Each structure stands twice: as structure tokens, then as C-alpha cells.
Amino acid sequence: MPDIVIGIIFLVIALLASILWLKLKNPGQILLAMSIISAPWQGGLWLEFMMLDLRFTYILLFGALFLIKVKRRQFTEKLHLYIAFPSLAIFLWSFVANTKAINYPLALGGSFTLFLDYLTFYVVYNAINTDRDARWVIKALVFGLFITSSLAILQYTIPMFHIGFIDGEFKKFMWWRSRSTFWHANNFGMYLLFLLPIIFRMMANALQAKEKTVIKTYVIAFFLGSFSLFATQNRGSWIGLAIGITASLIFDFMRMKNKKAKKTILRVAFSILLVISLGMVRFGSKIYARFYGGYENVDLQTQHREELNEVAYAIMAQYPLTGVGFWNSRFYADVIFTHNLYLLIPSEIGFIGIFFFGLQVFFFLIESIKAQRSKNYYIAHLGSGLLATLIGFLVASYPGPDYWIIPAVRHHLFILVAIIAALNLYDKKIKKMQSRGYPNSRPMSVNIGQNNVLAANGMVNN
């Protein structure tokens, strides 16, 4: 089947899900939901000039940008300057770095994706004006995960299963790893690392709120995603997810005073550990082989990655401020770029570039901690989920460059940050209205989209 036909089928599924499952009627919201659902799909329009695959998700995002009605906000609120400044600074600085590029069109295409990152944040952030908006955005992410995980499981159980061009050359030498709709299994692993902590915390929220339908949705999503993560054989994402969720839980329990909330989280965590333990009985040998030698020579792979790191060090020594241009460090190595994100970024856009990246991640962390400290149970869970995602991402990026080399991976992190940032702003405005004594103001509902009052099931952190 031609790739364009597969892409159209994917878009039709996204359209039907937006209308029938998310029950959206506003054209702008439908386009944004389709953009989010199709975000993992790696097909689109190839731009020859910039050697860039302008994916379906971005085309839909541009449509949503012009159709979504943004409520009147202050300039700083519309842009969210804490996110806008480092994001646009990286984008602009990359053009300076690109002056050193061997392949300038390739570097230019990479820079363009940095602008699309912030555009993603801007559209999602401004599309969420109420608590109900957040619900369908998260459900769109979950629906995308249903599709990608289902395809990944098919790839794992039926090695001959193909998805168009994605399973072309890659299938020949990595037939034992699932990549779903991504170019590489590691890309898919990082995508799952971003979403699974959020879904984990949504399970806990739904369990405490006693919403049986919602619980079932998130339980299915979590275990589909977890098995798919195993199928990727991506060691960095395995370790990152475990460390991220554990660290966020420890942080929660150090601060949380609500015993009911603690008990709920423990129930979810122990249930997951039980299932994982049973899974280890079945797949433990494969996991062990992945770390200590199976289909690949681990020692040889480690040696090769160290050689690539040496190339990155040499580039940084020669071009400390600018690097050698976006996506251009590969031309200095014998095979490919370094697999360490913290070496790859400065080798391509210099130490100034990685400074802006560090600032960007710092503000992401601020948003997550701010949400985690909220007295609203739903926001606090989402904040903890994003914190786990960020910690896991920082860990997994030591051996993995996927965030930098694959725009679809970055795309999802910016969607998550936009959701949290918008809810933080909404929560702030509700508190402000309550402090002024407005009788019609209310806290955000524990169950997004319903009129539950915080006091019924809320978690008070202070």
C-alpha cells in the first residue's frame, strides 16, 4: 500500500476519533485534536529545499492556529514568556550555528523544527481556556498512544508486519525491535517515556474520583504503552521511566499530607509492580539479554559510542560557541552522531545553545513543580506526571539523542508542558477570583469536565 494512502487512512481515523470519541464540534479544536493524534506519524510533505519532512501534524497545527479562538489575554500570558524566551532563543541562535554547517539546507530544516516546537506549545497553551479543554487534549494524546502501541505490538508479535516506508530498510537489521510509526525504536521509546508517567498519574486520579470508565481507559492505555515500551528494547527509556516515576513518588510522599491520596497512589503503584513482576517471569531473560548481550554486541556498541563521544569533544573544542550547525555533526563521524544528548547539542549549536536548552528544561521543571504544589488534585497529579517525565527524559538522554534528532519526540513534550502551563494559569485565575469574593467562581473539578468541588475528593498539599 502506498505511503500516502496509509497517511490518509491515519488522518481519517484521527478525524473520526476527534468527532466521535472526543465529541468536538469546533473546527479549530477538531484540527488540533487531529494534529495531536497524528503527531507520532512520521509521514508528511517532503520539502526538498530544507530536506525536511513537514509532517501532517504540523499542517493541521497551522490550521488550528488560525481557527482556534484565543480568549483575550495579556501579551505575556499569550506567549508565556518563560517558555517563549529560551525556545525562541535556541531557534534564533541555531541560525548563527548554521553558518558553520557543511550541509546548510539540512541545518536550516533542523532550525525550522525548533520554531515548530514553540508553535506547538503556543497553540495548545492558548487552546486550553477552561478545565474542560484539558480533558480532550489529554484524551487525544491517549488515543494516539492506542494506535501506536497497537501497531507496535503487531510488529513485535508478527515480525513480517510492515507499516509502509517506516518498515523498509530498518526492518532488515532491527526486526526484533518495535518502532510503531516512528523511524527508530529508540524514538518510539522516548515518546512512550513522555506519556506513560502522565497516564500513570491519571489512573490514580480516576481511581480516587471513582470514575470506572475513565479508569479502564487509562489502565488499558498504560499497559498497552508499557508492553510497547518493552517491545522497543530501548534500555534508556526503561531506566528513565523507572527513575522518573520513582523520584516523583518520593517527592510526593515527602510533601503530601492527605492520607487518602497516598493510599490511592500506593494502590496503583503496587498493582503496576505486581503486573511487572509477572511480566518479568515471562520476559526477564530477554530484558537481561538486552543489557548484557543478545542480538547486539554490547561491548562493541559501547566502544563505538565512546568513539562518537570523542568526535563530539573534538568538535566542541574547535567550535565551542557555535558548534557545526543543526544536524551537521554526523558529517564529522565515521557513521553517525554521538548518542549523548548533552554532547550532541553543544557540538551542533555550541555552549550558548545548550545554555538555552538548559534554561528551557529549567522552566519546564518550574511548571511541573508549580502544578504539583497545587491544592487541586487533578493538577497536582498532572504536575507529578510531568515531573516524572522530565526526570526520566534527562536520564534517558544520557545515552539517547532522540529528543534532538526527531522533531516528533520534542513535539510531544511541548504538548505536555503546554497543558500544564495552561492549567497553572487557569488555577491561578480561579484562586484570584476566589480571593476577591466572586460568588460564581469555583475550584477546578477533580474530574475534568465535571462540576465536582475540590473539597469532595481533593488533595491538600500544604
pLDDT in tens, 16-67: 999 999 999 999 999 999 999 999 887 666 666 666 777 888 989 999 999 8
Measured distance CA(451)–CA(443) in Å, rounded: 9
Report CA 197 to chain centroid distance, whole Å. 10
Coil, helix or strand at residue 294: coil
Bridge partners (DSSP) listed for residue 47:
52
Grid cell for residue 429? 485565575
pLDDT at 105 over 80: yes
347 and 315 Cβ atoms separated by less than 8 Å: yes
**Greater model confidence, 386 or 166:** 386
Q: How confident is the model at residue 288 (pLDDT cuts 50, 70, 90)?
A: confident
- Range from 36-40, 301-305, 322-326, 338-342 carrying the lowest mean pLDDT: 301-305
Grid cell for residue 129? 481556556
**Greater model confidence, 317 or 461:** 317
Backbone φ and ψ for 45, nearest 5 degrees, come out as -110, 125
Cell 497524528 appears where? 38
How far does the chain reach from its first CA to its final CA, in angstroms?
57
Measured distance CA(80)–CA(370) in Å, rounded: 15
Where b means 16+ CB within 10 Å and e means fewer, 123-146 reads bbbbbbbebebbbbbbbbbbbbbb
Backbone φ and ψ for 130, nearest 5 degrees, come out as -135, 170
Instruction: Please classify residue 391 by burial: count the beta carbons closer than 10 Å to its beta carbon, then call 0-12 exposed, 13-18 middle and 19+ buried.
Output: buried
User: What is the reported pLDDT for 29?
Assistant: 94
Angle between helices 185-209 and 259-292 (to 10 degrees): 160
Which long-range contacts link 44-49 to residues 24+ away (Cβ below 8 Å)? 44/7, 47/109, 49/105
The secondary structure of residue 18, as a DSSP letter, is: I
Half-sphere exposure (Cβ direction) of 282: Cα atoms closer than 13 Å: 7
- Model confidence pLDDT, tens digit, residues 401-413: 999 999 999 999 9
Measured distance CA(219)–CA(177) in Å, rounded: 24
Q: How confident is the model at residue 440 (pLDDT cuts 50, 70, 90)?
A: low
The secondary structure of residue 25, as a DSSP letter, is: -
Backbone φ and ψ for 54, nearest 5 degrees, come out as -80, 100
Q: How confident is the model at residue 452 (pLDDT cuts 50, 70, 90)?
A: very low
What is the residue-averaged pLDDT of the chain? Answer: 84
CB atoms within 10 A of CB 455: 9
Measured distance CA(99)–CA(386) in Å, rounded: 35
- Model confidence pLDDT, tens digit, residues 205-251: 888 878 888 889 999 999 999 999 999 989 899 999 999 998 888 88
Measured distance CA(158)–CA(155) in Å, rounded: 5
pTM over 0.85: yes
What value does the mean pLDDT take over residues 96-124? 94
Do β-strands 52-55 and 44-47 pair in parallel, antiparallel, or remain unpaired? antiparallel
Cell 516512528 appears where? 182
